[in-house]
């Protein structure tokens, strides 16, 4: 069994290095499809806003690299890795993954074909990866100036989108449920450009550059937290908002600062629904820690 595991790990590294040669940033994955390396901040009592700036590994997709030495180091630190993940939204390909799931009650491929007819685009021939469950991943590329967010069944039931901050399980990976493999006839293909009508469906609308006036908070406390959220970059927005909301509730002015935090998060790029849901999560966490109903 140890020999099989070693062979699996060796093959995973080989596939990861091959993907990196094509400009695809990779990370090692465990058999659960999760990043193989645990966060170095996992025991911190407070959320740590770190995407690798600390110089340590274990930051999930933020560890992804195309550097062969770096990839070997990641796999050496995770000898139990049986697969690899490919970071989406990163140059040079700005990969977008269309995950067609078979677990939903609807036919996700048929749903995508219906969207293509409805919005007048053609599903291009592209790299296609078959999943152990019978689903498939379509690889597309996006323009460098468009940030495609991750989503689950928002486009249609059974269709998930892997975008900035997400990753796809690479072909050749072995998981607890089986292996991921390239679909016959697609091995020679590169990721095709995402059709513009489809891109408009999966990317958020461009926000105006002007900023509306912030709501006046019911308290003068927390201005620093509002500025902290306002300065969030792509990939930090939810984390920064959650952290700031937690601090506000811990200091007794969470409700008073909620509208100002929501405004700041929207200005930073979240939707109002996303912002309010994140703040509500922080409120529930605070209530749970203090035994509130």
> What confidence tier does 216 reach under pLDDT thresholds 50, 70, 90?
low
Q: What is the pLDDT of residue 104?
A: 58
**Do the Cβ atoms of 75 and 12 come closer than 8 Å?**
yes
**Do the Cβ atoms of 81 and 33 come closer than 8 Å?**
no
Q: What is the pLDDT of residue 1?
A: 37
Q: What is the mean pLDDT of the chain?
A: 87
- The pLDDT of residue 290 is above 70: no
pLDDT in tens, 96-126: 999 998 765 568 999 999 999 999 999 999 9
**C-beta neighbour count of 96 within 10 angstroms:** 27
Provide the token pair at 172. 């050749």
pLDDT in tens, 132-185: 999 999 999 999 888 898 888 889 889 999 998 899 999 999 999 999 999 999
Q: Which residue did the predictor score with more confidence, 289 or 78? A: 78
> What confidence tier does 206 reach under pLDDT thresholds 50, 70, 90?
low
pLDDT in tens, 225-282: 888 888 887 678 888 899 999 998 888 888 888 888 988 888 888 888 888 888 988 8
Q: Is the dihedral of CA 267, 157, 59, 144 positive or negative?
A: negative
Q: Is the dihedral of CA 14, 19, 20, 26 positive or negative?
A: negative
Question: Against a cut of 0.75, is the pTM above it?
Answer: no
User: What gap in Å lies between CA 24 and CA 20, rounded to an integer?
Assistant: 5
- The pLDDT of residue 128 is above 70: yes
**C-beta neighbour count of 246 within 10 angstroms:** 21
Buried b / exposed e across 61-95, counting CB within 10 Å, b at 16+? bbbbbbeeebbeebbeebeebbbbbbbbbbeebbb
> What confidence tier does 209 reach under pLDDT thresholds 50, 70, 90?
very low
Q: Is the dihedral of CA 260, 262, 265, 267 positive or negative?
A: negative
Q: Is the dihedral of CA 265, 269, 272, 274 positive or negative?
A: negative
User: What gap in Å lies between CA 26 and CA 280, rounded to an integer?
Assistant: 34
Nearest to 154 by CA among 203, 90, 82: 203
Q: What is the pLDDT of residue 117?
A: 96
**Do the Cβ atoms of 76 and 9 come closer than 8 Å?**
no
Q: Which residue did the predictor score with more confidence, 9 or 81? A: 81
> What confidence tier does 4 reach under pLDDT thresholds 50, 70, 90?
very low
Helix (H/G/I), strand (E/B), else coil: 50: coil
Q: Which residue did the predictor score with more confidence, 211 or 64? A: 64
Q: What is the pLDDT of residue 212?
A: 57
Ranges assigned E (strand) in 36-94: 83-87
């Amino acid at each position: 069994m140890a020999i099989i595991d070693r062979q699996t790990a060796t093959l995973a590294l080989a596939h990861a290095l091959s993907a990196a040669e094509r400009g695809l940033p990779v990370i090692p994955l465990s058999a659960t499809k999760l990043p193989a390396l645990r966060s170095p901040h996992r025991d911190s009592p407070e959320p740590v806003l770190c995407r690798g700036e600390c110089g340590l590994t274990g930051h999930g997709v933020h560890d992804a690299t195309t550097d062969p030495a770096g990839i070997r180091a990641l796999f050496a630190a995770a000898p139990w890795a049986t697969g690899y993940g490919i970071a989406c939204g990163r140059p040079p390909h700005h990969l977008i993954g269309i995950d067609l799931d078979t677990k939903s009650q609807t036919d996700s491929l048929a749903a995508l074909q219906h969207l293509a007819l409805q919005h007048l685009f053609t599903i291009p021939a592209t790299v296609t990866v078959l999943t152990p469950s019978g689903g498939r991943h379509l690889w597309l590329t996006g323009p460098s100036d468009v940030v495609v967010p991750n989503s689950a069944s928002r486009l249609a039931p059974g269709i998930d989108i892997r975008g900035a901050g997400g990753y796809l399980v690479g072909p050749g990976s072995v998981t607890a449920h089986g292996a991921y493999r390239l679909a016959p006839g697609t091995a020679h293909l590169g990721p095709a450009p995402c059709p513009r009508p489809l891109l408009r469906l999966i990317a958020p609308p461009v926000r105006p550059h002007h900023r509306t006036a912030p709501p006046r908070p019911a308290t003068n406390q927390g201005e620093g937290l509002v500025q902290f959220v306002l300065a969030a970059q792509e990939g930090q927005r939810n984390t920064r908002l959650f952290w700031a909301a937690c601090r506000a509730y811990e200091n007794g002015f969470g409700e008073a600062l909620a509208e100002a935090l929501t405004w700041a998060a929207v200005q930073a790029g979240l939707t109002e629904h996303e912002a309010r849901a994140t703040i509500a999560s922080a409120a529930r966490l605070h209530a749970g820690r203090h035994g509130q109903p």
